[in-house]
Amino acid sequence: MTKENNPRGLHVKVKKKRGLKSSSRRWIERQLNDPYVRQAKADGYRSRAAYKLIEIDDRYQLLKRGQRVVDLGAAPGGWCQVAVERTGSANDDIRVVGIDYLEVGPVSGAEILLMDFLAEEAPERLIETLGGAPDIVMSDMAAPTIGHRQTDHLRTMHLCEVAADFAVRTLKPGGHFLCKTFQGGTERDLLDLLKRNFRTVHHVKPPASRDGSVELYLLAKTFKGRRDEAGPAENDEDDEAGPLG
C-alpha cells in the first residue's frame, strides 16, 4: 500500500463535532486511516473491495482474458473494474455484466443492470446481456445488517444459496464460483451442493478484509458441468478459513 495521502503513516483522528455521532466519527476515522481506501483512490477503483478480488485472483488465477463474467451485487463497481481489466472486456465486446438494485455509475467495458438479482426475470436478463454462459460467477452481495449476528448471517447465507444455484444452472464446464459469506458456519446444504458440482471448494479470507471482519469468501473451482443426477464429489477439498499468503 502506498502512503501518498498520509505519507508519514500517521494516524488521523477526527475531532468530535456537535451533531456527529460517535459511530459516524469512528467510521470516518477508519476510512481515513485505511491504506486500502487510500490506494483505491490512487488506482481509480470505486472501493477498497477491489483489492479483495485482486488478492483472491492473484492466488487462484480465476480471471483470464476473453472470459465471460457475471458480478452479482455489483455496487459500487470495483469488482467489475477488476474483471474488465483482467478479461480484456471492452465496450464493443462486453464480457463483464453486473447487477445491483443500487445505481452504479458506468464502468467502461462492463454492462450493469439496475435490478434486483432476486427478481424472477434477473437470471435470464443477465445471460442475455452477457451473450452466453459465464466462465465465472462472482458475488460480493450481503444483506443489509440489522445488528443481530445470527439473523444477519442467515440473510446473507440465503443470498449465497441463490447465487450458487444460479452458478450451477448457468456456468460453463470448468467455470468458477466466488461468493461472500460470514464466519459462523456455512450451511451444509450449500457446501454439499458445491462439492457435488465443483472439483474443489475453498474458504478464503484475503488480506484486504478488515481485521475483525467476519466476512469470508467461498470459492468453488472447476465446475463439473450439468448432469441429470449429481454423483459423489471427486477430489473435493475444503480448505480451512485463513488468510491468503
Q: Please report, to the nearest 10 degrees, the dihedral formed by the alpha carbons of residues 140, 35, 208, 174 taken in order.
A: 70
Residue 159 grid cell = 443470498
116 in a known ligand binding site: yes
77 has binding-site annotation: yes
On whether residue 189 sits in a domain, the answer given is yes
Q: Tell whether the model's pLDDT for residue 237 goes beyond 60.
A: no
Q: Are 197 and 159 in contact (CB under 8 A)?
A: no
Does a structural domain hold residue 172?
yes
> What is the model's pLDDT at position 185?
63
Average pLDDT over all residues of the chain: 82
Instruction: Please indicate whether residue 41 or residue 15 has the higher confidence score (pLDDT).
Output: 41
CB proximity list for 206: less than 8 A, separation 6 or greater: 51, 52, 55, 56, 217, 243, 244
Which residues is 204 bridged to in the sheet? 217
In a domain, 111, yes or no: yes
Whether 7 is in a domain gets the answer no
3 in catalytic set: no
- The pLDDT, as a whole number, for residue 241 is 46
> How confident is the model over 22-37, as a mean pLDDT?
54
| Cβ atoms < 10 Å from Cβ of 124 | 10
CB atoms near residue 33 (< 10 Å):
16
Find the CATH number of the domain harbouring 60: 3.40.50.150
**Total structural domains in the chain?**
1
Could you say which of 180, 195, 205, 221 is catalytic?
Answer: 180
Q: Count Cα atoms within 13 angstroms, Cβ side, for 144.
A: 3
Alpha helices in 69-140 (DSSP H): 78-87, 122-130
Q: Who's near 28: CB < 8 A, 6+ residues apart?
A: 14
Residue 236 assigned ligand-binding role: no
Assigned domain for 12 exists? no
pLDDT digits (tens, 9 = 90+) for 168-194: 999 999 999 999 987 766 678 899 999
Q: Evaluate whether residue 26 is within a structural domain.
A: no
Cα–Cα distance, 139 to 81 (Å, whole number): 14
User: What domain range is 187 assigned to?
Assistant: 50-223
Residue 236 lies in a domain: no
Instruction: Calculate what percentage of the chain has a pLDDT beyond 70.
Output: 75
Q: Is residue 82 part of a domain?
A: yes
118 vs 236, more confident: 118
